[in-house]
């Protein structure tokens, strides 16, 4: 299978060459030659890239550890979904996936090209697509081949976390990289058609709609990709919330900003022939920025939380970037003079003026983000010292820009070409503004009531966002009212059907406008979420003993005890936190930590209870004595609005992509079935997307169950009955003497410990102090040597757990503690470095840690050994609230995302096909063309 993949990769490179030659030949003969051959070359490239991907996936799923890539990114016990996701989990694999996506776009373009007639434009577009795919195939074959075999047969590591880092084993891994890659590679398509248009100086309506449509495709993939990434980052502790202005995040934001700018000016070019030079620049810049993003991610040139490899790809990618930048510059320079605007801006308050201002603001944001991202290089070059900016820089500059953008978006519905829309536009703007002011202030006031602050910029952003929503709604209302009333007159015979038909006709006629409004409203809803969660926030950390209470905003939290989920691969320690609001119990939240037996550090799993007005975000930071937990509770307002806004935005972009004619472009039943399948996938996408956007993981108790759950049940349900017993504690210590002479270990045993046995002659009683029995163990080890000592004692335990203190004067490397069956390592106050638990012959658990303390200063270590009955199970009868991050793979989300991807690409291809047919027939009939 690996040989097949490697062969497919080499084939891809060869076919890439052939494709370039065929396209060049066809361009030479003005598009008449090799029509079938060109199409076949594009299809073959996709086929070979897909074959290589499939081979790698098979290797990953089968865990064929003879291949370096497989050995690095998989391990036993890794779920199948993450094995597949490991395709884009590593450098070489993700580059292969990237190349496959470019060839996918090539194949789709070949499909969307009508088979008859003149296709000079496609000669160049296909040529550019082939060239980009060929460039990446070259990198794959010569610099980052995923099919490299290891020198000898290998044994895969026994890794409980399964090779792929546990942090990456998150549902986000199955969707976020795919969408971002689709977005970044998708910028190639508009660029390819742009080059074709510029080089051949074709009439604009032959190629420009394709550029606009496919920019929209790439743009919507980038948007959803960034949102998925934001959500993933939000659910993982320590990744800085949903957006950290990390260089790689910025790298995907940059082409998104330029593409957004282009989508607005493209409208002005289509309708009024304006911004023609500017649009050419934006198309090229968006493509170039997507290459720049690849460079940033893979060159190791900048530091990022997305762990760039300092791989060999950097110089290669730089060459690719320079070649395409030079090519684009030449192509644009060739047509620069002919790209004169056909109209000028007549009034500032017109759609043209609005688009102009929109571009100014977006490009300002782009410049800011770009400056901040490359500042470390630039300052090194200019001043010789590397200067970085923090997230505060980006926020300070971008926040005012985005408030202005929102205000502009609010005005947008009232701007027509050349002038303001109607006579009564100002009256409507005043109404919308008044509504926005009321809603903005109300939102700010309700936030102030909980969070006790009112930053003016956040209040301005909230008001501006409400203005966008109010304006769009008002214009839709006006437009719909007039459409329905005029139609109703015509179909007076059947009023109900008349209205429905009118609505349908109206939606069809205005789909792009309604789509754009939906996108604007989605952005505004996201903005509300970002402004609220960015400016208002509550955070409390507390060490809580069982039964302790904590109030966060309107929520009352009661910690009732720790619990353990047993497992072969990993065990999860969770805290039961009872959540109540207004005296009513809502349920239990279980923030947790997963421990792996192989030494992989424990992974914290955040519990999030999401409601429209706030997210309750609980983190189990650690545990303390007596079964206490260190909890970190956050109240993040309105975060769910960001995800919901994303859904609205997606619906809007789908509507914008809906082709003008709904004619199915095929006659054969098989192809019609394919179209029907696409429709089903669209529905799946909608369903999956809704499932993703909705806070569905919040299992809400039924109304009757809620009535049952008035507070008094607390004591009954949650505190487990005390369990008493006796256990043997066996501590085996391996102590390395790193000092100059042997010293003794002071070991504190629980005050009620009995039957102490240690190697005779190696220990003596040191007395009783602070409720502990102290012994001194002196193994008599010479410097540099290691001694093993076994201390056994019996202690009674109770529900309060058993704590063990250990003081060592040694510079000890490893201390191993053998705990009784079912014992659980809980607390590590002062116990540091690696902590591991390992099954030992099915009878005991081993916990050990590395200690290092220069200068012989004693450490005090508390280890609680807690048998199972100590832990409180999930309280019966209460629902578990909130999503626990990364706990399970969400099949709906993956299916929904796949459906959505298919829907977007299919709609865009369909639209391209029909528009290309139209433009071809209109080109054949100049009269119709002039009339259009």
Partner 1 sequence: MVAGLSGLGSPRVRLWIAFGAVVLVLCWLIRTAVIHASSYYLTVDELAKKGQAAVGKPWTVSGTVVGRSVRWSPARETLVFDMQDESGHAKLHVVFRGPKPDDFDRGWPLVVTGTLRADGTFNAQQLLVKCPSKYEAKSGTYTAVN
Q: Closer CB to partner 1, residue 6 or residue 828?
A: 828
What SS3 state is found at 556?
strand
| Shortest distance (Å) from residue 265 CB to partner 1 | 14
Tokens representing 484? Answer: 């329905």
Q: How far apart are CA 641 and CA 628, in angstroms?
A: 34
Tokens representing 247? Answer: 């260089």
Cβ atoms of 187 and 597 within 8 Å: the answer is no
Tokens representing 832? Answer: 């540091």
| Shortest distance (Å) from residue 381 CB to partner 1 | 13
Q: Closer CB to partner 1, residue 290 or residue 919?
A: 290
Q: Closer CB to partner 1, residue 746 or residue 862?
A: 862
Q: Closer CB to partner 1, residue 588 or residue 826?
A: 826
| Shortest distance (Å) from residue 384 CB to partner 1 | 11
Q: How far apart are CA 386 and CA 382, in angstroms?
A: 9
| Shortest distance (Å) from residue 96 CB to partner 1 | 13
| Shortest distance (Å) from residue 809 CB to partner 1 | 17
Q: Closer CB to partner 1, residue 378 or residue 477?
A: 378
Q: How far apart are CA 401 and CA 367, in angstroms?
A: 12
What SS3 state is found at 744?
coil
Are β-strands 835-840 and 844-850 bridged in parallel, bridged antiparallel, or unpaired? Answer: antiparallel
| Shortest distance (Å) from residue 129 CB to partner 1 | 25
Q: Closer CB to partner 1, residue 44 or residue 57?
A: 57
| Shortest distance (Å) from residue 644 CB to partner 1 | 26
Among the listed residues 96, 101, 132, 117, the one whose alpha carbon sits nearest the alpha carbon of residue 23 = 132
Exposure b/e, 219-232, CB count within 10 A at least 16 = b: bbbbbbbbbbbbbb
Q: How far apart are CA 922 and CA 259, in angstroms?
A: 29
Q: Considering all CA atoms of the chain, what is the largest pairwise distance in Å, rounded to the nearest integer?
A: 110
Q: Closer CB to partner 1, residue 585 or residue 608?
A: 608
Cβ atoms of 795 and 753 within 8 Å: the answer is yes
Cβ atoms of 459 and 406 within 8 Å: the answer is no
| Shortest distance (Å) from residue 669 CB to partner 1 | 46
| Shortest distance (Å) from residue 130 CB to partner 1 | 26
Q: How far apart are CA 685 and CA 906, in angstroms?
A: 13
Phi-psi map region of 49: left, alpha, beta (phi>0 left; psi -120 to 50 alpha)? alpha
| Shortest distance (Å) from residue 254 CB to partner 1 | 16
Q: How far apart are CA 224 and CA 179, in angstroms?
A: 7
Q: How far apart are CA 625 and CA 861, in angstroms?
A: 11
Q: How far apart are CA 394 and CA 398, in angstroms?
A: 6
Tokens representing 63? Answer: 């865990």
| Shortest distance (Å) from residue 902 CB to partner 1 | 27
| Shortest distance (Å) from residue 49 CB to partner 1 | 20
Q: How far apart are CA 335 and CA 203, in angstroms?
A: 12
| Shortest distance (Å) from residue 585 CB to partner 1 | 27
Q: Closer CB to partner 1, residue 400 or residue 742?
A: 400
- Residue with tokens 């090779």, as numbered in its chain: 163
Residue 845 backbone dihedrals phi, psi, to 5 degrees: -115, 140
Q: Closer CB to partner 1, residue 101 or residue 296?
A: 296
Q: Closer CB to partner 1, residue 129 or residue 365?
A: 365
What SS3 state is found at 125?
helix
| Shortest distance (Å) from residue 7 CB to partner 1 | 25
DSSP, residue by residue, 214-256: HHHHHHHHHHHHHHHHHHHHHHSTTS-TT----HHHHHHHHHH
- Which residues are 750's β-sheet partners? 772
Q: Closer CB to partner 1, residue 540 or residue 666?
A: 540
| Shortest distance (Å) from residue 593 CB to partner 1 | 9
Q: Closer CB to partner 1, residue 364 or residue 479?
A: 364
Tokens representing 501? Answer: 């038909």
Q: How far apart are CA 337 and CA 344, in angstroms?
A: 17
Q: Closer CB to partner 1, residue 100 or residue 244?
A: 244
Exposure b/e, 387-422, CB count within 10 A at least 16 = b: eebeeebbeebbbeebbbbbbbbbbbbbbeeeebbe
Q: Closer CB to partner 1, residue 307 or residue 716?
A: 307
| Shortest distance (Å) from residue 420 CB to partner 1 | 8
| Shortest distance (Å) from residue 261 CB to partner 1 | 14
Q: How many CB atoms lie within 10 A of CB 51?
A: 18
Q: Closer CB to partner 1, residue 107 or residue 735?
A: 735
Q: Closer CB to partner 1, residue 600 or residue 744?
A: 600
- Residue with tokens 């497919």, as numbered in its chain: 8
Among the listed residues 682, 657, 652, the one whose alpha carbon sits nearest the alpha carbon of residue 896 = 682
Q: Closer CB to partner 1, residue 850 or residue 918?
A: 850
Q: How far apart are CA 649 and CA 161, in angstroms?
A: 36
Cβ atoms of 23 and 87 within 8 Å: the answer is no
Among the listed residues 765, 870, 205, the one whose alpha carbon sits nearest the alpha carbon of residue 197 = 205
Among the listed residues 334, 178, 359, the one whose alpha carbon sits nearest the alpha carbon of residue 261 = 359
């Amino acid at each position: 299978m690996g040989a097949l993949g490697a062969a497919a990769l080499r084939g891809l490179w060869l076919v890439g060459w052939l494709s370039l030659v065929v396209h060049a030949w066809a361009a030479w003969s003005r598009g008449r030659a090799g029509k079938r051959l060109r199409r076949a070359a594009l299809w073959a490239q996709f086929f070979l890239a897909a074959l290589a991907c499939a081979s790698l996936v098979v290797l990953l799923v089968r865990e064929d550890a003879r291949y370096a890539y497989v050995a690095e990114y998989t391990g036993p016990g890794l779920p199948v979904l993450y094995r597949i996701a490991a395709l884009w989990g590593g450098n070489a694999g993700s580059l292969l996936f990237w190349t496959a996506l470019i060839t996918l776009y090539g194949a789709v373009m070949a499909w969307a090209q009508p088979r008859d007639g003149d296709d000079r434009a496609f000669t160049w577009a296909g040529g550019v697509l082939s060239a980009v795919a060929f460039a990446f195939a070259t990198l794959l074959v010569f610099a980052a081949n995923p099919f490299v075999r290891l020198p000898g047969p290998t044994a895969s590591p026994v890794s409980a976390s399964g090779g792929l880092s546990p942090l990456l084993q998150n549902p986000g891994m199955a969707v976020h990289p795919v969408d971002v890659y689709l977005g970044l590679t998708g910028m190639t398509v508009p660029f390819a058609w742009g080059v074709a248009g510029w080089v051949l100086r074709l009439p604009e309506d032959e190629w420009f709609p394709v550029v606009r449509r496919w920019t929209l495709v790439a743009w919507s993939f980038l948007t959803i990709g960034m949102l998925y990434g934001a959500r993933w980052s939000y659910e993982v502790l320590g990744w800085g919330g949903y957006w950290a202005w990390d260089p790689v995040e910025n790298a995907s934001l940059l082409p998104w900003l330029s593409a957004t700018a282009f989508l607005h000016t493209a409208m002005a070019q289509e309708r009024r022939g304006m911004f023609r030079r500017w649009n050419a620049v934006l198309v090229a810049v968006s493509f170039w920025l997507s290459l720049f993003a690849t460079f940033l991610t893979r060159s190791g040139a900048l530091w990022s939380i997305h762990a760039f490899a300092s791989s060999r790809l950097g110089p290669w990618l730089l060459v690719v970037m320079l070649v395409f930048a030079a090519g684009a510059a030449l192509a644009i320079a060739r047509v620069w003079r002919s790209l004169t605007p056909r109209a000028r801006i007549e009034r500032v308050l017109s759609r043209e003026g609005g688009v102009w201002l929109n571009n100014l603001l977006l490009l300002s944001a782009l410049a800011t983000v770009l400056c901040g991202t490359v500042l470390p290089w630039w300052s090194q070059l200019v001043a010789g010292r590397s200067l970085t900016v923090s997230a505060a820089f980006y926020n300070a500059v971008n926040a005012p820009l985005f408030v202005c953008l929102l205000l502009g978006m609010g005005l947008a519905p009232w701007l027509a070409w050349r002038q303001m829309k109607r006579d009564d536009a100002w009256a409507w703007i005043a109404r919308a503004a008044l509504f926005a002011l009321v809603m903005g202030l109300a939102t700010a006031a309700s936030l102030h009531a909980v969070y006790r602050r009112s930053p003016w910029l956040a209040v301005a952003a909230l008001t501006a966002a409400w203005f966008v929503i109010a304006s769009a709604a008002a214009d839709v209302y006006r437009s719909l009212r007039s459409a329905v009333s005029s139609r109703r007159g015509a179909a007076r015979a059947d009023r109900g059907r008349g209205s429905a038909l009118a609505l349908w006709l109206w939606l069809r006629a205005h789909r792009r406008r309604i789509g754009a409004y939906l996108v604007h409203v989605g952005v505004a809803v996201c903005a509300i979420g970002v402004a609220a969660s960015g400016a208002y926030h509550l955070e409390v950390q507390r060490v809580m003993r069982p039964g302790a209470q904590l109030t966060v905003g309107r929520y009352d939290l009661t910690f009732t005890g720790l619990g353990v989920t047993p497992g072969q691969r990993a065990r999860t320690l969770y805290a039961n936190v009872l959540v109540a609001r207004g005296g009513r119990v809502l349920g239990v939240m279980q923030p947790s930590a997963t421990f792996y037996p192989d030494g992989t550090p424990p992974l914290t799993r955040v519990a999030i209870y999401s409601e429209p007005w706030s997210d309750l975000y609980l983190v189990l930071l650690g545990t303390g004595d007596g079964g206490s937990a260190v909890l970190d509770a956050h109240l993040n307002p309105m975060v769910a609005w960001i995800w919901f806004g994303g859904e609205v935005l997606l619906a809007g972009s789908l509507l914008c992509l809906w082709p003008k004619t709904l004619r199915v472009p095929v006659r054969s039943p098989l192809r019609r079935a394919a179209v029907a399948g696409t429709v089903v996938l669209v529905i799946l996408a909608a369903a999956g997307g809704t499932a993703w956007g909705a806070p569905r993981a919040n299992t809400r108790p039924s109304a009757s169950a809620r009535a049952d759950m008035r507070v008094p049940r607390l004591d009954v349900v949650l505190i487990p009955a005390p369990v008493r017993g006796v256990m043997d504690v066996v501590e085996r210590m391996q102590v390395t003497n790193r000092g100059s002479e042997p010293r003794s270990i002071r070991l504190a045993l629980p005050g009620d410990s009995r039957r102490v046995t240690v190697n005779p002659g190696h220990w003596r009683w040191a007395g009783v102090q602070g409720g502990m029995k102290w012994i001194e163990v002196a193994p008599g080890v010479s410097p540099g040597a290691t001694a093993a000592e076994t201390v056994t004692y019996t202690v009674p335990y109770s529900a309060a757990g058993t704590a063990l203190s250990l003081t060592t004067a040694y510079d000890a490397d490893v201390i191993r503690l053998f705990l009784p069956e079912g014992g659980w390592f809980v607390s590590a106050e002062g116990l540091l470095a690696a902590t591991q638990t390992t099954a030992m012959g099915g009878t005991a658990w081993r916990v050990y840690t590395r200690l290092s303390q220069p200068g012989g200063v004693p450490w005090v270590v508390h280890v609680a050994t807690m048998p199972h009955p100590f832990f409180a199970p999930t309280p019966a009868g209460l629902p578990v609230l909130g999503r626990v991050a990364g706990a399970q793979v969400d099949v709906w989300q993956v299916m929904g995302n796949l459906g959505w991807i298919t829907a977007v690409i299919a709609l865009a291809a369909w639209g391209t096909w029909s528009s290309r047919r139209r433009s071809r027939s209109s080109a054949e009939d100049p009269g119709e063309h002039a009339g259009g």
